[in-house]
């Protein structure tokens, strides 16, 4: 996170810096101009500047909140720290960090999810989910470039979305139900990936037209 004075930040960086305060205010005020005003007052930012930064409305505020969580996650869980853990644990820690970053702001989260589900915002919401899932996989060391690149991110987006839904309504002590749910979902995906790798034919067993033509031209002796 930046140590630059808020007054010296670009509008994009200002949005991200103000986002946690906006999210806290959104618990009571929703994702509204009133929440922005409260955040500006809390952070000592000129109200007019803050309102201008979020002139595009609620989705701009939610996008900035997501970006803030992304940046905080990378800072708290750098790739080199995660490198010594299993893939399962790398993913689990990142999702848990993200959920814990939203603790106490469940009403803001509920409102944000409702706003993102609106038809006009679905595409932008999907882009946010994809970016966060891609970031988590890259932090986890994934370098896949084949179809697995896409399936991994789609699966992780689904796990995170489901975990958010549980977390939002979890009233158990220390969010125990959320962590148990997260562990079950990750375990299920890991079992599926293991089975998929066992069922997927090896590359040298795939039918190759070029190999067949080569054998027809140069038959084995």
Could you read off the pLDDT of 95-142 as tens digits, one per residue? Answer: 999 999 999 999 999 999 999 999 999 999 999 999 999 999 999 999
pLDDT of residue 190: 78
- Rounded CA gap, 152 and 59, in Å? 26
- Rounded CA gap, 43 and 87, in Å? 38
Q: Using the 8-state DSSP alphabet, how is residue 121 labeled?
A: G
pLDDT in tens, 40-65: 999 999 999 999 999 999 999 999 99
pLDDT of residue 214: 47
The average confidence (pLDDT) of the chain is 89
User: Residue 206: pLDDT band by 50, 70, 90 thresholds?
Assistant: low
pLDDT of residue 57: 97
What pTM value is reported for the model? 0.84
Whether the predicted pLDDT of 81 surpasses 80: yes
**Range name among 47-51, 85-89, 166-170, 197-201 with the lowest pLDDT average:** 197-201
pLDDT of residue 5: 77
Label each residue of 164-199 as H, E or C: HHHHHCCCCHHHHHHHHHHHHHHHHHHHHHHHHHHH
Q: How large is the average pLDDT for residues 156-166?
A: 95
Whether the predicted pLDDT of 207 surpasses 70: no
User: Residue 12: pLDDT band by 50, 70, 90 thresholds?
Assistant: very high
SS3 call for 55: coil
Give the rounded distance of the alpha carbon of 31 from its chain centre: 20
pLDDT of residue 1: 62
Which positions ≥6 away from 96 have C-beta within 8 Å? 179, 182
């Amino acid at each position: 996170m930046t140590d630059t004075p808020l007054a010296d930040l670009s509008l994009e960086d200002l949005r991200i810096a103000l986002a946690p305060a906006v999210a806290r205010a959104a618990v009571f005020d929703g994702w509204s101009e009133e929440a922005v005003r409260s955040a500006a007052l809390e952070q000592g930012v000129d109200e007019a500047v803050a309102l201008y930064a979020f002139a595009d409305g609620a989705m701009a505020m939610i996008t900035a909140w997501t970006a803030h969580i992304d940046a905080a996650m990378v800072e708290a869980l750098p790739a080199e720290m995660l490198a010594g853990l299993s893939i399962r644990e790398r993913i689990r820690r990142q999702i848990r960090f993200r959920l814990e970053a939203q603790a106490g702001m469940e009403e803001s989260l509920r409102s944000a999810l409702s706003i993102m589900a609106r038809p006009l915002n679905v595409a932008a919401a999907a882009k946010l989910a994809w970016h966060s899932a891609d970031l988590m996989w890259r932090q986890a060391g994934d370098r896949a470039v084949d179809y697995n690149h896409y399936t991994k991110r789609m699966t992780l987006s689904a796990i995170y979305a489901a975990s958010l839904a549980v977390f939002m309504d979890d009233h158990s002590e220390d969010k125990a139900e959320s962590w148990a749910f997260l562990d079950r979902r990750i375990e299920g995906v890991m079992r599926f990936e293991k089975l998929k790798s066992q069922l997927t034919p090896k590359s040298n067993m795939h039918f190759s037209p070029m190999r067949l033509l080569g054998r027809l031209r140069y038959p084995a002796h």
